[in-house]
Amino acid sequence: MIAARLRSGGSAFAAGLARKAALLAQAHAEQRLLARRADPLRWRMARLLWPLFTKG
């Protein structure tokens, strides 16, 4: 049998989701700006292609 317990009231989980949402929103905004400029660099920037898997 598998048992699970939450130590906190879920606030850490919610904070993690908020960080991911902010990161995705920032990458999306930058990608849209580069797309508007027709800049081909947007296809070469890992932080825009995979924002949740890159560091920094």
The one-letter amino acid code at 17 reads L
Q: Is the pTM of this model over 0.75?
A: no
In a 13 Å sphere around the CA of 32, the CA atoms on its Cβ side amount to: 6
**How confident is the model at residue 25, as a pLDDT?**
94
Of the pLDDT bands very low, low, confident and very high (cuts 50, 70, 90), residue 7 is low
The sign of the CA dihedral 17, 28, 43, 45 is negative
In the chain, the percentage of residues whose pLDDT exceeds 70 is: 82
Alpha helix (H) residue ranges in the chain: 11-36, 46-49
